[in-house]
Amino acid sequence: MVGKTVLITGATSGIGRATAAGLAMMGAQLAITGRDRRRTEDTARDIRAAGGGKVNVFVADLSSQSEVLRLAEEVLQGLSRIDVLINNVGGYWNTRHATVDGLEHTFALNHLAPFLLTNLLSDRLKQSAPARVVTVSSNAQAAGTIDFDDLQGERSYSGAKSYSQSKLANVMFTYELARRLQGTSVTANALHPGMVSTSFGNGDPGAIQRLIVPFMRPFMKSPDRGAATSIHLASAPDLGQVTGRFFANSRPRKSSKSSYDEAAAARLWRASADLAGLPAAN
């Protein structure tokens, strides 16, 4: 990864931080995002102290579309190239929360943020080609359905349902993005990192986080092991032309049947573009 510039969202803890540290040790020049400036700068300093090279710091709350727009502008000003974009940021909320834009928080952060950011950076990725877009999804996608009549969970909300929908959306977005990027030498792949022991979901935990996860922690992956597939998709030479795939344990896997519905993926793209204020043809 020497000479490669990698932008990683949500890189101040858990899988994102481990991904950043791992790629830095491989020689990548990093750009990391976080919501809190001090935590983000501390992460950058720790990576440098461990032997990593240059680390650019960007601060933004990606649940806010205005902050995604500002982040993209700052990234385009600060980075002359982007060889790899890793859409890592995500979260889980058991109760329904609205963002500053009036959007359901899980859908806004987990799906609309990477959708919008990737679109805003697409020209820079194409200019940097060969380049890669890596999006962290989850095996929860297998339980997901896209409820086009209630994408925001206004009629009926469940934390698990909303999370699964957002992770399926990650995969469908990836497949549609790969189709739209054909001929550009920019690839797009999604992944399941595995069951990883992090603070994920602690802010508003559901029954699984409260009752089951504590007993599962001894058997869950460390963040370093959880980051392995993200690092593999970002760096493996033999994946330079592999696109539109879903990976787990660094190997291609089948995603849910519904994730391959091209008509639904195109509809999701149009709906997402509308919610993000982008032309649907972008």
> Annotated catalytic sites, by residue?
163
Q: Is 9 in a helix, a strand, or coil?
A: coil
Q: Residue 251 pairs with which residues in a beta bridge?
A: 248
Whether 6 contacts 83, CB under 8 Å: yes
Judge whether 33 and 56 are in contact, CB under 8 Å. no
Neighbours of 114 (CB within 10 A): 31
Q: Find residue 271's DSSP bridge partners.
A: none
Fill in the amino acid letter for 5: T
Q: Which amino acid is at 248?
A: A
CB-based contact 171:117 (threshold 8 Å) = no
AA identity, residue 122: S
What is the rounded distance in angstroms from the CA atom of residue 145 to the CA atom of residue 177? Answer: 19
What residues form DSSP beta bridges with 132?
84, 187
